[in-house]
Chains A and B, each alone.
Chain A
């Protein structure tokens, strides 16, 4: 990976449970974004958190950012089968470059 790594690589949970994914990165960033990818499809933007923010919410999504530890987490609450997908963090560096992590594959069992 050019920048970040997600953990765990794979996660399997029951519908209704919460899912937490983590992202660690290597260098200073301007912002961090989370994306979702359904099988065989392109990536879709979920949420962006700026380097001066610590937490952000969007619907069932909660993102935290700890720049001192160079890490972020994505929490999906009350998961649904339709949340089954791969989730990636992308770190925004200087300019307009974005580097993606290796992804977490989430399976939500109905």
Chain B
């Protein structure tokens, strides 16, 4: 299995532009998570999906952030409009939830976003 695949790996954009980050979870996993990592705040859980349905988006910082999971093999995190304080590494992770599964998270390599 190729693991969790994120794109782009690096994105540099200007303030006000729309940013879309993409994630392909591991096949067969039914939970997907978006995290944001910064030096100041560490790893923050933004939103997670179970069976393609958003379960908890309380970590999404503002209305400028939105996430979708149209099917079991694809998710997007969109920031519109982007601001310099959104600069961070965004991680996608997937897991198999449910009886008998450990809930171990498998992370992608991250998308490093820089907003100028």
Contacts and interface: CB of A to CB of B under 8 A. Distances in A.
A98 B33 contact: yes
A36 to B, nearest CB: 11
A43 B91 contact: yes
A102 B42 contact: yes
A41 B109 contact: yes
Chain B interface size band reads: 20 to 34
Interface in B79-97: 91, 93, 95, 97
Contacts of A45: 104-106
Q: Is the interface of B mostly helix, strand, loop or mixed?
A: strand
Interface residues of A, number: 23
A96 B42 contact: no
A95 interface: yes
Interface string B1-36: 000100000000000000000000000000101010
Nearest to A30: B103
Q: Is the interface of A mostly helix, strand, loop or mixed?
A: strand
Contacts of A64: none
Contacts of B93: 42-43
A43 B41 CA distance: 16
B99 to A, nearest CB: 12
Nearest to A43: B107
Contact of B105 (A1, A90, A102, A103): A90
Given A96-B31, A96-B50, A101 B42 contact: yes
B95 A33 contact: no
Contacts of B43: 43, 88, 100, 103
Interface of B: 4, 31, 33, 35, 41-45, 48, 50, 55-56, 59, 91, 93, 95, 97, 102-110
23 contacts: A2-B44, A2-B45, A2-B59, A33-B105, A35-B105, A41-B110, A42-B4, A42-B109, A43-B105, A45-B105, A48-B102, A48-B103, A48-B104, A95-B50, A96-B31, A96-B48, A96-B103, A97-B56, A98-B45, A98-B105, A100-B42, A102-B42, A103-B43
